[in-house]
Amino acid sequence: MTRAFLPLLCAALLAGCSSFKGRLLAPDPRERAQALEDALRYGESRKEELAREMGRELSSADPDRRAYAAEALEDIGPQAAAAAPQLIKALGDPVAAVADSARRTLTRLSAAAPLMAGELLSVPAGLREELEAILSAQGDDGALALAGNFRKGDKELAIESIAALAGMGEKAAKAVPALVRAAVSEDPDIRTLALAALGDIGAPAGRFLSGLLASGDPAYREGASGVLAAMKPPPAAALPALVSALSDPDAAARLNSAEALDACPPVMLAGLSLEQAGALQKAAEAGGAPAAPAAGALLKSGKASTDWLTGQLSSSSALTRELAAKALASSPAPPLKAAAALLAALKDPSPGVRRAAARALGRYSVTAAAGFPKGAAAALSAALGDADRETRELAAAPLGRLAASDKKALYALIAALRGRRAGVRIAAAGAIAALGRKGAAAERQLWRTFRTRDCAQRTAAARALAAVKPALRRLPAIAREMRRICPAGLPKEGP
């Protein structure tokens, strides 16, 4: 009797399964909801079988059946991973409801992450973007699945996975160790892309590499610092560890750390503490290979001491000299002891250095300019004839400050009003205007400049005349020119 009962039981179960599937695909939403509620009472193996049944329905020619099947899979739970291959294909379904439902289901299926990551190159480009977006939404699970592709020996798949991880930003934190290994790959393409991805991931990459910089193994410290140096720039989170590594006993780690810091933009380095800036300056003064990049980083930080900056104006590196002069120019009040070095820099072979030095000298106040070394007026006067337009025009301002106590400086400005450079004449008129009544000796030459047809020169001369002799403000011609707004653009050089 038992043997006769078993076939009947199996037949009944199969009929029940078929009936249950039909209820999940029924047009009546209440019947589908009740069927799903009944299904959720089954064990995992039964749910997986149900998921496979619904997965097969995702290829049905009937759009309603596909939509109902996708809806059922969305609510089955983790066991819906059994239909992951069909769900991936359903992302491209022409029925939006089916595609959207498949996307929501896959996003919740962490068990399907490795399959999705492995299919990146097997699906059309549009679906590839969908898969990458889903893996990104999965966070740690998606990142680990993408990192797992690096072990498959497929370069194209690795490249696509690195790009996807880069797009995840900080959510790809779990993939950082794998990306660090890729960043020291022998393949230049993989190495370059991995470094860029680490930079896009940012803080998590910085924290991981910072931890390696504190390792007791010098090979780890050298490797981590080398990766950070190659990232250009490294993540901001790694800056404290990089500064500490400037005193690493390993020479390669010190050099790599200095180069990594030098690759940082000024806005990153501006946040260094005075203690950290001191460590940079110590590395810059220590000599050896790390000195130059450490000096570059210190200059960009804006935290260098004025004594050190002054000394850098005689560096063998034109870039270092220029950065030092720029740093002094950005100071609210450059120290008087730097004036001699800045004046000497007006003869530097690099136009960038001369320009920055002239701008820095223009930052000194009238009282400070009075303490300039002997020969300052001659140096500034010579700069008015510099081959670089910006340098010669910038030289007028410090010459004007010096003119308050040095007649030679005033006579140099008056001579500049007679020169052939329109820009210098305008700058000289501005410097004389700043002198006020002390520039009265320039009145005659200012009138000659006032008679020019060039708008910018006429207005500059008018303002200077009104400053050196206030009574001239009442003249209609002077008042009119002082109110005039000249067209934008540089004046033409020449008489």
Q: How far is CA 202 from the centre of its chain?
A: 10
- R_g of the chain computed on alpha carbons: 37
- Give per-residue pLDDT as tens, 170-188: 999 999 999 999 999 999 9
Please indicate, yes or no, if residue 438 is contained in any of the structural domains: yes
Quick one: which of 80, 79, 102 has its CA closest to 91? 102
- Give per-residue pLDDT as tens, 233-276: 999 999 999 999 999 999 999 999 999 999 999 999 999 999 99
Residue 320 banded pLDDT, cuts 50, 70, 90 = confident
Identity of residue 479: A
Residue 145, both tokens: 């699945």
Percentage of residues in the chain having pLDDT higher than 90: 78
Residue 430, both tokens: 């501005």
- Give per-residue pLDDT as tens, 370-382: 899 999 999 999 9
pLDDT at 12 over 50: no
Cα–Cα dist 120/149, whole Å: 10
pLDDT for res 20 = 62
Quick one: which of 148, 160, 151, 150 has its CA closest to 122? 160
Quick one: which of 475, 407, 472 has its CA closest to 439? 407
Helix (H, G, I), strand (E, B) or coil at 81: helix
pLDDT at 494 over 60: no
Contacts of 232 (CB under 8 A, 6+ apart): 195, 199, 263
Please indicate, yes or no, if residue 423 is contained in any of the structural domains: yes
pLDDT for res 370 = 87
Determine the average pLDDT of the residues in 353-382: 94
Which 3-state string (H, E, C) describes 295-363?
HHHHHHHCCCCHHHHHHHCCCCCHHHHHHHHHHHHCCCCCCHHHHHHHHHHCCCCCHHHHHHHHHHHCC
Element at 423 (helix H, strand E): helix 422-435
Please indicate, yes or no, if residue 383 is contained in any of the structural domains: yes
Identity of residue 153: G
The number of C-alpha atoms within 13 Å of 439 and in the hemisphere containing its C-beta is 34
Cα–Cα dist 491/5, whole Å: 107
Please indicate, yes or no, if residue 238 is contained in any of the structural domains: no
Please indicate, yes or no, if residue 95 is contained in any of the structural domains: no
Alpha helix (H) ranges present in 169-317? 176-182, 188-201, 203-213, 218-231, 239-244, 251-262, 266-269, 274-285, 291-301, 306-312
Residue 11 banded pLDDT, cuts 50, 70, 90 = very low
pLDDT at 278 over 50: yes
- Give per-residue pLDDT as tens, 178-225: 999 999 999 999 999 999 999 999 999 999 999 999 999 999 999 999
Name the domain count of the chain: 1
Measured N-to-C along each axis, helices 476-483 and 455-468 cross at an angle, to the nearest 10 degrees, of 120
Average pLDDT across the chain, whole number: 90
Q: ω before 233 within 30° of 0 (cis)?
A: yes
Identity of residue 245: A
Q: State how far the alpha carbon of 171 is from the alpha carbons of 44, 163, 168, 301, 457, in Å.
A: 31, 13, 5, 30, 59
pLDDT at 4 over 60: no
Helix (H, G, I), strand (E, B) or coil at 459: helix
Pairwise pLDDT comparison (467 vs 14), residue with the higher score: 467
Please indicate, yes or no, if residue 269 is contained in any of the structural domains: no
End-to-end CA distance of the chain: 123
Measured N-to-C along each axis, helices 396-403 and 376-383 cross at an angle, to the nearest 10 degrees, of 150
Determine the average pLDDT of the residues in 157-174: 96
pTM of the model: 0.71
| CATH number, position 436 | 1.25.10.10
Cα–Cα dist 180/204, whole Å: 12
Residue 365, both tokens: 């106040």
- Give per-residue pLDDT as tens, 435-476: 999 999 999 999 999 999 899 999 999 999 999 999 999 999
pLDDT for res 333 = 79
Q: What is the dihedral of CA 373, 378, 383, 385, to 10 degrees?
A: 180
- Give per-residue pLDDT as tens, 477-488: 999 999 999 887
pLDDT for res 26 = 67
pLDDT for res 37 = 73
Residue appearing with tokens 């993540």:
235
Determine the average pLDDT of the residues in 344-353: 97
Determine the average pLDDT of the residues in 89-102: 95
Residue 347, both tokens: 């003869």
pLDDT at 336 over 60: yes
Residues of the domain holding 420: 323-495
pLDDT for res 491 = 62
